[in-house]
Amino acid sequence: MFTVVLTLVAVFLLYLAVPNAGTAVRAARADGVAGTFTPRELICIVHPGHESCVWTGEFRSGDGSSDRAGVELYGSDRYSNRAGSPVRAVDIGLPGRVYGPGGSNEWVFTALMIVSGLGILLWLYGGPLRRAFRREPARVS
């Protein structure tokens, strides 16, 4: 039963992470359409002992071909922007989010989920693989 549960956990981790790997890499590299983000509204959620804020506003591509309203700037907080003051941003294609020109660290969590899922599967089912690569000691005749 333990093997079945761990297999399901590993498959679930991979199910969540693998489809988002491309997006995480694009976000990390800030690989997309460059433009400007104009912050309009600061939205904050207060947790016990912690406040999490994000700026929402409009994104306009550098060539003027794309205007998007109601997007948030990933990684922004209460003190990172001022309403109405445009900042550089990159649109990687997500519907409600743009990123700063430095990219993001979202890839770390995605990579950890992939490595964890593969590690669990290798630990559970890698015995034959390990035996295949194990060197037999040389026999002296």
Helix or strand or coil: residue 90?
strand
The pTM of this model reads 0.76
pLDDT in tens, 35-71: 999 999 999 999 899 899 999 999 999 988 889 999 9
Q: How far apart are CA 72 and CA 39, in angstroms?
A: 8
pLDDT in tens, 71-119: 999 988 888 899 999 999 999 989 899 999 988 998 999 999 999 999 9
The closest alpha carbon to 30, from 98, 108, 111, 110, belongs to 98
